[in-house]
Amino acid sequence: MSIPLLTVTPSSQNQRVAGFEVPGDEQPRSFTTAVLPSPTEMDSIVTAGYRQIFHEQQMLSFNRQTFLESQLRSGQITVREFIRGLLISDVFRSQNYNVNNNYRFVQLCINRVLGREVYNEQEKLAWSIVLATKGLNGFIDALLDSAEYLEAFGDDTVPYQRRRVLPQRSAGDLPFERMPRYDASYLAKLEALGNDFSRVDISSWLPREEVRKVGAVLVYAGALVVLSGFVAVALACFGWISL
């Protein structure tokens, strides 16, 4: 029997504040199929979906889900189902789920799926319990079927980071794309496997003494040639020599 999502007290974040300012470049752009898109607009919708879920670090041609793209373009699935397919793909599992603990993965998914930051540690724990009891697919279904997702994005809109900027604030929130995929626990796992980054000997990366000497000679020779050229140009300007 799965444990239901624990009650979480929302905090006051940007996305919970109604916006009345004039939209500009800093406001999120909505990619939707609510109005029948042209082929070019559909390309933009697909790209926006990849950028939102995979971020630019994982937007490689090797990671493309061509079958999902084909279904979306032909109208067999909605944008929400396309996002679901990206989230449960082997690529997303191997490059995000397998390399993070549950708490970090929950934060990452709330950023990318719900378009906001986690409210607090209580919410991390609540969603981590869902992930632990229902598995990855059940956790993704719970996010995409939640009232918050349906109200914010529905079936036709690609998720985006909501309300990064408030008029009363001098600086807005950073884009989630700038957040690293891995946290300190991932580094700890690497160190547990024997990768001691505090004792890396970079001297082995440096060139040998003979190579450094040859490089120094080439640098000085190049500098001498350049200097000779400047002197020759200066003498030619005064008419002392002809070039």
Amino acid making up residue 111: N
Intra-chain end-to-end CA distance of the chain, in Å: 91
Question: b vs e for 91-105, b when ≥16 Cβ sit within 10 Å of the residue's Cβ?
Answer: bbeebbbebbebbbb
What would the 3-class secondary structure string for 57-122 be? HHCCHHHCCHHHHHHHHCCCCCHHHHHHHHHCCHHHHHHHHCCCCHHHHHHHHHHHHHCCCCCCHH
Name 95's Cβ contacts closer than 8 Å, sequence gap at least 6: 58, 181
pLDDT beneath 50: ranges in the chain: 202, 205
135: left (phi over 0), alpha (psi -120 to 50) or beta: left
Check residue 202 and give its pLDDT.
47
Q: What per-residue confidence (pLDDT) applies to 143?
A: 95
C-alpha–C-alpha distance, residues 96 and 54, integer Å: 9
Q: What is the pLDDT of residue 220?
A: 80
Alpha carbons 181 and 96: distance in angstroms, whole number:
7
pLDDT tens digits, 17-66: 666 555 555 666 788 988 888 889 999 999 999 999 988 777 777 788 98
Predicted local distance difference test score (pLDDT) of residue 84: 96
Q: How far is it, in rounded angstroms, from Cα 49 to Cα 62?
A: 16
Distance, in Å, from the CA atom of 89 to the CA atom of 233, rounded to the nearest integer, reads 65
Burial of residue 65, with CB atoms counted within 10 A of its CB: 0-12 exposed, 13-18 middle, 19 or more buried: buried
Strand partners, 32: 157
Parse the chain into domains and list their residue ranges.
14-184, 204-237
Structure confidence at residue 233 (pLDDT): 77
Q: How many CB atoms lie within 10 A of CB 63?
A: 16
Task: Determine the Cα–Cα distance for residues 33 and 155; give it in Å rounded to an integer.
Answer: 9
72 burial (CB, 10 Å; 0-12 / 13-18 / 19+) is buried
* CATH architecture of the domain with residue range 14-184: Orthogonal Bundle (1.10)
pLDDT score recorded for residue 79: 95
Q: Phi first, then psi: give them for residue 32, nearest 5 degrees.
A: -140, 155
Q: Other C-beta atoms within 10 Å of 52: how many?
A: 21
